[in-house]
Amino acid sequence: MACDFVVLVPDENQRVGNRSVADVVLRHLEAIEEIESSLTVYRGDSEIARVNALAYEKPVHLKPATFELLQEANALAERTQGAFDITAGPLVETWGFTKREGRKPKP
What's the CATH number of domain 63-107, 3.40.980.10, 3.40.50.300, 1.10.3980.10, 3.40.640.10?
A: 1.10.3980.10
How high is the pLDDT of residue 2? Answer: 67
How high is the pLDDT of residue 93? Answer: 77
Domain ranges across the chain? 17-60, 63-107
How high is the pLDDT of residue 105? Answer: 74
Report how far residue 85's alpha carbon sits from residue 89's, in angstroms, rounded to the nearest whole number. Answer: 9
* Consecutive 10-residue averages of pLDDT for the chain (107 residues): 80 84 91 89 88 93 94 95 85 75 73
How high is the pLDDT of residue 75? Answer: 97
Report how far residue 75's alpha carbon sits from residue 17's, in angstroms, rounded to the nearest whole number. Answer: 37
C-alpha torsion 68→31→85→75, nearest 10: 20
